[in-house]
Structure 1
Amino acid sequence: MLIKRFADAQPYDAPNHWGVTGLRLQGFEDGGPENQWVGYSQFLPGGGAGPDATPFEKVYVVLDGEMTVTVDDTDTVLGPMDSCTIPPGEVRKIENRSNHVCKMLVVIPCPAGGRP
């Protein structure tokens, strides 16, 4: 078992994101998960990502606040404890259109081989 304290989580920069601070909670460390990694993102009002797509699926879980997810010109607002899966190749844009910080967990598969 690998315990990782929130105080020890390291920040990371995600491409094509703005107004966000991401912290890696689990992944890419000895004894950590081999198949996926978990990030904690805090999006300021007006923060977001995209539009873009990735060759792997992603899972978003909103913990606090709300996030607007746009796919095929359709907006869906996720609130606390709502989640969604973005399949591989699906173009999405996410945007915090509220005046509150949106706190979100992100689960993403590790690259082939399990480590970068």
Structure 2
Amino acid sequence: MNITKLEDAKPYQAPGHFDVCGLRLQGWEASDAENFWVGLSHFLPGGGAQGDVSPLEKVYVVLEGSISITHDNKEFILGPLDSCRIPPNAKRTLINKTNKTVSMLVIMPYPENK
């Protein structure tokens, strides 16, 4: 079993993200998780992630605030405890259009070349 206390979580920089603080909760250097990793992202007002395509599927779970996710030219607003799965090779954009910080869990498998 691996436990990561929030005060011990290490920051990481997600590519293509801006005005976001990411904390690694599980996986990579944080634990021995073998198939996935979990991060906690805090999006400042106006913060987000550029339109990006990843070969890996991912799951987002909003914990606090609301965030805009654009996928297939459609905008969706997720609020507390809303979640979404982004399929592999799908373009998505994230933006915090509010004046409150958004906190969101990110769950992803490792890339094949980990």
TM-score of the aligned structures, taking structure 1 as reference length = 0.93
Residue 69 of structure 1 corresponds to which residue in structure 2?
Answer: 69
What is the deviation of 1:31? 5.2
2-structure distance, mates of 1:100, 1:15 = 22
- The aligned residue for residue 104 of structure 2 is 104
Relative distance call for 1:31 and 1:42 in structure 2 (3 A) is closer
The answer for the alignment partner of 1:85 in structure 2 is: 85
- Which residue does 2:50 correspond to in 1? 50
1:3 matched to which residue of 2? 3
Q: Say which SS state the counterpart of residue 63 (structure 1) adopts.
A: strand
Deviations 1:42-80 (A, max 9, x none): 000000002011000010000000010001221100000
Residues 1:20 and 2:20 are matched in the alignment:
yes
How many residue pairs get matched? Answer: 114
Report the CA distance between 1:4 and its aligned residue: 1.4
Change (3 A) 1:42 1:30: closer
Q: Name stretches of at least 5 consecutive residues in structure 2 with no aligned partner.
A: none
Paired with 1:31 and 1:53, the residues of 2 have a C-alpha distance of 26
For structure 1, the 5+ residue unaligned runs are: none
Residue 7 of structure 2: SS of its match in structure 1? helix
**CA 1:9–1:73: 2 relative to 1, 3 Å:** same
Displacement after TM superposition at 1:108 (Å): 0.7
Deviation of 1:99 (Å): 0.7
What whole-Å deviation, never above 9, does each CA across 1:8-66 have from its counterpart, x for those lacking one?
Answer: 11000011100100000000148521000000000000000020110000100000000
Q: Percent identity?
A: 52
Letter matched to residue 71 of structure 1: H
Worse overlay, 28-37 or 98-107: 28-37
TM-score normalised by the chain length of structure 2: 0.95
RMSD, aligned α-carbons: 1.3
